[in-house]
Chains A and B, each alone.
Chain A
């Protein structure tokens, strides 16, 4: 039986535990690759990767690489020692361990029990073998750890670690005709294997007491066993660092006393001193200016700004730069986009149906404005959760508050889900997930099907939150159609509010849409003549009180029964229904625009939430299954985070109280999570390296006191993001150079202690915006709305996609963000997946980026514009080259670089003279990326190479090379 050797392997995996085991994996990989003589040691002779590398890996300097070198993390943190709040990882399999000495089960083991074992025991065995059941057949109970081990009349049911001797396993295997359980039929093979595996791993079992309902509570009605651990200890859970309220620590004293400018530096320096590193020198002024300008605005500094700052000898030169950048409108665009990553912002529903959200852009603009005007962060959060319930000074405020609630409405939606209850719970789940991860750094949604595996969050807490969202109505629009079973209302904005009506539609677009509508109408009319049983009056009935409920018109379009042959009938009915849906949605869309394409006041709609007619508490869904309802849970919050300051739900859904509870100085997580989010955008990594997970499975802070100091100060500063940013970028730490120091590199290769500034790769937005800016193409002003605002449909037609994906010379933050169709310029550079809360993007360098920068017509267009701008300057070629470096890199070229560029111009001209075989333009096809050459006439749309003189061609190639270089995409 091959199953036997599986168990130890599984245990080995468990033994790896939850702490940072990558080093051990690394060792295993090295051993696999390099250990020729099998002694589990690697000698220098076996190591082909160079001495320096070997020395780095050989931490204990004993001349061989062995387990000892891989046990601890650099910098002396004990990677392998179990953290105080974590269950100990199993180091040994525990067959037959006596109860007194038994180790605690690991989270993985408990996970396995909850997923695989408890449901089986509950469904298959509790019926006859539980404390609640009077029968307790054979004297056996299996509903607690003690009972299952004690067993019944024939002996222990389970002997931990010994499946073969465990009666339970003998029974479920059905091998012994006298002992077959469950009696009504053998369990599936995999279930039997699971049980075997469970016993082999030592039968980890958290059921210390009799499950849930006290004996007295059991009634004659069907019992629903709840898959909940009863052993979540909230009191103990509150001791976890991030659930403790932050206290403002005094800045530590340091040996070196002249380096720190302020508290931030003092905390950082103390940590450096403690870990044996010291700050490198400061960055030069140009490097600092480029760094801070990109960080605060997402744009490069101009050569003029660089020159002015270099020449500025006044005392407050740095302060004035920072204040200028904080005041620039681009600050809102930059930090707004960071929040949009966290808010999983997108303009379509994603998943199978992927229909557009034409009004989502209002939320985008709201977020940008909030950061631009430094809206206090607590207000910002409250508005997003409960803007509709907040008092408003005037109609402008009211409008803003409503738009803010789009946060809850713009998540991905499985609109084709047929089961309405399932759909509703999925929407609620997404809201819980986004809210708790974005604002609290907690993964509460893990508790949908079972108690949270790592954090003290019982399933009841999840359903307490679910009740709040179930008592609210989510309004996201969309039209009924094939694949969309769940269109919803939208919210109307107050008529007097100072808000744009929305984007305009071009006359051609309007004509195309009208044409489509008429064609669809013709199909409907034809069908109407043939099938008189249509019921056109239906839609009037369920018109909602506020806003439009688009697409309801299509609901009456059931296939007409009793027509000719069944099959043509079905096909026709589907076609007619689709046409009718299309007419309805196009009518609805066209009604929002004037004949000339300008938006009408009817277009003043927003996504968002409002209170449901009647608030209600949710019932726990056992294992998250909608048809498996458990007990009702009162609406409430995450109990482990509650304290004296926690409000109680007074009326309505409880969203307002939820908002107050989250956006409160008493909440231990809210401020910490936000300061960490801001920090990582300025220093490359979060103080908590897992910005969306401050729970027990996240990583602990590298500088806990600094984190708390920042969090408390943030609240004291009135939750001002700009003040926080200002403090960070005016620190001495932020001014450090990015230069390596081999002494410190060895101790702290990941620059955890910030003894130098880490390089960071720019995001796709900044790379594209910098290219547009270099070419002088970038529009200064924000566009009104989004092109998505003039559309109302799924994303199938190629023509529509080409229209939406057209590269407009606007800042990248304003490009349409459609789920699964993210603009290429952003997608290739690790854009935040818009279906997830993303606090920290990846920074990869892969071939698809290279191909895009080499061959995309867009990039070539930017390069041509850059070249023309340079050529329009007077002066010599060398002066132009210098200027180009200043624009692209914020510095002058070295002599070697200048020589290299001159050489390039010579060689390029020669190479250009020997063309390839004539290449055809890319064929039109179904491929999304192989776009046909773009049309002429748009700003900056000089068809690349079309009629370019050789000089411009060469300069464009040079400019494109600057775009392609590593330096362009890195900030030092």
Chain B
């Protein structure tokens, strides 16, 4: 009945009917496909099978370190000396006499490239030559929920597929035992499931949520059980296998009867994936096998950075395992007051883990084809709010990229003298999305899906690839 879906995959009825032990065979076929990376045309039209991009890709996968709340750019990656000289002066055009607030943190140049980075990120600064700073970003609305959803889907007015879903739709995924799109601890608010939802794309492209961020006070040590219903503590695996064999046997009986098979095939495959996930996901989420040195490098076990460190390490494990799009979420960047303490704490919680992730990916040879993204839904004002806080600023902010075919040690775009508004190399979120897709080998104007009678794109009718930042 899904009249909007593209051509249905080729029926696997014959294979499924012929298989004397459906499960074993299917599990095998999944693994075999992983091993051989069989291209799409031989994968029988599986919607998740790896697909050839539109043109040669620079990046094969994405890790998006998503900082919700709106991190201040003028205190982190966008150095504004004028802000120091104009500290305390009224910001022009602002009612109520808002005053510029110099950054409390010193900026220094780092690496051979000499990128200016503030002392809030001592560890990331060591990777300056890997970073591609995007200093000319801007977005439409200075409100969290809307901006956050727009960051993920391109639109806040309408429910649209998320960036990760589009990526999965465009490229498929390498590991059939895992979902191709995973979102680690996404916020329950700010649009919630929309941010990893597939909207009108087939549901198979939606992100799998692992854990959920309920705010700073919630416990976040739930690595293994973070995927809903991923384990069955009551039934041994072998017994559950017997149970599923019965289920699949009944399903195959149904396939033998004349009738439409797409639904039954979908059910059979959903158990196939679920069973493989049960085997792989808990192990993948179990960090106990990582060395003490690795855990230390990611800042795991060290107060502020523990939570994000775990997630970054998980992200690396998922990337290695062949997941196409991984999003790591870290909230708490909404510093309306008390900037000095709270921004420092926020930075401390991500600096070491993010740096470790870059180093780890590089050491494993993964950074060259893994696109790492870092940033939030908007930036913050150069003028003060509530004494030493900053308000939302959607007119100019900074994100960065690393690896995946981007220029390292590079800065693209700029805000005005105070960091209020993007003036050079301006990049809307549509441009950002177009550039990400481009790095993945996808033409954002060609990656379309027909729904409700028209072709939709992630970038609607907008989007320009920022070619300057391609390595």
Contacts and interface: CB of A to CB of B under 8 A. Distances in A.
A33 interface: yes
A824 B228 contact: yes
A697 B259 contact: no
A921 B225 CA distance: 10
B145 A2 contact: no
A610 to B, nearest CB: 29
B236 A923 contact: no
A685 B42 contact: no
Nearest to A827: B193
A759 B260 contact: yes
Given A922-B231, A967-B254, A970-B263, A842 B450 contact: no
Contacts of B443: 9
A803 interface: no
B239 interface: yes
B334 to A, nearest CB: 12
A693 B452 contact: yes
Interface stretch (A12-20, A144-152, A524-532): A12-20
A351 B449 CA distance: 27
B144 A48 contact: no
Contacts of B93: none
B461 A966 contact: no
A519 to B, nearest CB: 17
B270 A914 contact: no
Contacts of B2: 842-843
A33 B237 contact: no
B204 A49 contact: no
B428 A911 contact: no
A916 B453 contact: no
B226 interface: yes
16 contacts: A6-B445, A20-B450, A22-B7, A740-B259, A761-B263, A796-B214, A796-B215, A820-B193, A847-B179, A847-B271, A848-B229, A914-B236, A925-B220, A926-B220, A964-B243, A966-B254
A177 interface: no
Interface in A79-108: 108
Contact of B453 (A697, A758, A845, A944): A697
Contacts of A929: 228-229
Contacts of B202: 844
A923 B229 contact: no
B217 to A, nearest CB: 9
A25 B278 contact: no
B104 interface: no
Given A25-B455, A49-B44, A900-B250, A927 B225 contact: yes
Contacts of A111: 461
Contact of B232 (A846, A854, A969): A854
Interface in B422-471: 426, 428, 443, 445-446, 448-450, 452-455, 457, 461-462, 464-465, 467
Interface residues of A, number: 117
B240 interface: yes
Interface string B170-212: 0000000001000000001110110000000011101010011
B242 interface: yes
Interface residues of B, number: 110
A908 B386 contact: no
Interface in A691-710: 693, 697-699
* The 9 nearest A-B residue pairs measured at CB: A925-B222, A845-B266, A929-B228, A850-B274, A926-B218, A844-B203, A930-B225, A855-B229, A966-B267
Nearest to A28: B446
A848 B449 CA distance: 24
Contacts of A685: 1, 3
Contacts of B229: 848, 851-852, 854-856, 929
A920 B269 CA distance: 28
A102 to B, nearest CB: 21
Interface of A: 2-3, 6, 9-10, 12-13, 16, 18-22, 25-26, 29, 32-34, 48-50, 53, 108, 111-112, 115-116, 188-190, 193, 351-352, 354, 414, 417, 566-567, 570, 684-685, 689-690, 693, 697-699, 738-740, 750, 758-761, 796, 798, 820, 824, 830, 833, 836, 842-852, 854-856, 860, 894, 896-897, 900-901, 904, 907-908, 911-912, 914-916, 919-930, 944-945, 957-958, 960-962, 964-967, 969-970, 972
Contact of A48 (B41, B213, B232, B455): B41
Best-surrounded residue of A760, A944, A957, A969 (most CB of chain B within 10 A)? A957
Contacts of A12: 445
B70 to A, nearest CB: 14
Given A21-B450, A25-B450, A850-B271, A844 B266 contact: yes
Contact of B247 (A920, A964, A972): A964
A687 to B, nearest CB: 13
A33 B38 CA distance: 12
Contacts of B467: 2
B266 A916 contact: no
B445 A966 contact: no
A193 B11 CA distance: 46
A351 B204 CA distance: 25
B18 to A, nearest CB: 14
A759 B259 CA distance: 8
Contacts of B274: 847-848, 850-851, 854
Given A849-B270, A911-B239, A18 B226 contact: no
B463 to A, nearest CB: 9
A760 to B, nearest CB: 7
Interface of B: 1-4, 6-7, 10-11, 39-42, 44-45, 51-52, 54, 143-145, 159, 179, 188-190, 192-193, 202-204, 206, 208, 211-215, 218-222, 224-247, 249-251, 253-254, 257-260, 263-264, 266-271, 273-275, 277-278, 337-338, 386-387, 426, 428, 443, 445-446, 448-450, 452-455, 457, 461-462, 464-465, 467
Given A13-B448, A851-B278, A833 B159 contact: yes
Nearest to A926: B218
Given A13-B455, A830-B203, A961-B247, 9 more contacts: A18-B453, A116-B461, A417-B143, A740-B258, A850-B271, A852-B229, A907-B245, A960-B243, A966-B250
Nearest to A53: B10
Given A847-B179, A897-B253, A929-B228, A820 B188 contact: yes
A810 to B, nearest CB: 22
B230 A855 contact: yes
Nearest to A944: B234
Contact of B6 (A25, A697, A740): A25
A945 B386 contact: no
Contact of B224 (A29, A33, A923, A967): A923
Given A13-B445, A851-B278, A844 B250 contact: no
Contact of B259 (A21, A750, A972): A972
Contacts of B461: 10, 108, 111-112, 115-116
Nearest to A889: B250
A908 B225 CA distance: 26
A414 B146 CA distance: 11
B398 to A, nearest CB: 18
Best-surrounded residue of A740, A830, A847 (most CB of chain B within 10 A)? A847
Given A18-B454, A842-B203, A759 B263 contact: yes
A911 B246 contact: no
Contacts of B159: 833, 836
A34 B443 CA distance: 19
Contacts of A904: 242-243, 245-246
Contact of B226 (A53, A566, A930): A930
Contact of B270 (A566, A739, A750, A845): A845
Nearest to A2: B467
A820 B260 CA distance: 33
A73 to B, nearest CB: 11
Nearest to A10: B445
Contacts of B193: 820
Contact of B258 (A697, A739, A833, A848): A739
A925 B219 contact: yes
